[in-house]
A and B are shown apart, each in its own frame.
Chain A
Amino acid sequence: DTAVSQTPKYLVTQMGNDKSIKCEQNLGHDTMYWYKQDSKKFLKIMFSYNNKELIINETVPNRFSPKSPDKAHLNLHINSLELGDSAVYFCASSHLLQSGATLHFGNGTRLTVT
């Protein structure tokens, strides 16, 4: 009965490859997010979707493409992976933040690019 689940937990790949991370939430939330956590633990928002529509798109290379097939899923596809993409990627979900909603996080996907 995991609330926010993301797969895989670990992802090791070579530069230049394309990879995807999947995220699903069963909390009935209408907003989902991708955050990137670097080696210094800094958390930076990448994307946010509300009801399958993109509402936040920070300055992220266009090699990163989120896709939301429905409200419960938000996947992240990364093309032409680079060394600097190595990080932990967190998926999260919430109700609308303007209402003071809380973010619920997955356990993260540790991406290592070699």
Chain B
Amino acid sequence: AQSVTQPDIHITVSEGASLELRCNYSYGATPYLFWYVQSPGQGLQLLLKYFSGDTLVQGIKGFEAEFKRSQSSFNLRKPSVHWSDAAEYFCAVGMDDMRFGAGTRLTVKP
């Protein structure tokens, strides 16, 4: 069965520092991979997605993610975090349905 693991429940970074959020997936083939962000009191918004081709995917708000087949990973990165990036981040795999990881809560220190 397909599954998604986000090993980090909570991450704190200083504003201006770089960020990497980890995601590992388990699936028989390469699934469609997504990162969503959830701000407090809001629904989820798509940051970026990977289907095939270039393994480095650019998204909105300066985020990017790299697909590594050998590691079954799809980690999210941002070079310089802004205070407004504080939110919950979800990795997801989608094929017949969409399965989400448990989420990583990002706190940004001033």
Binding site for B on A (CB under 8 A): 4, 33, 40-43, 45, 48, 56, 90, 92, 94, 97-98, 100-103, 105-108
A105 with B43, Cβ < 8 A, contacts A45-B99, A97-B98 known? yes
**Size of the chain B interface, CB-CB below 8 angstroms:** 24
Give how many A-B residue pairs fall within 8 Å (CB-CB). Answer: 56
Closest CB in chain B relative to A34 CB, distance in Å: 12
Closest CB in chain B relative to A38 CB, distance in Å: 10
A41 to B44, CA, bound (A): 12
**Secondary structure call for the A interface:** mixed
Over the window 72-110 of chain B, the binary record of Cβ atoms lying under 8 Å from chain A Cβ atoms (1 yes, 0 no) is: 000000000000000010100011111110110100000
Contact across chains for B98 and A45 when beta carbons are under 8 A apart: yes
Contact partner of B95 among A45, A56, A98, CB < 8 A? A98
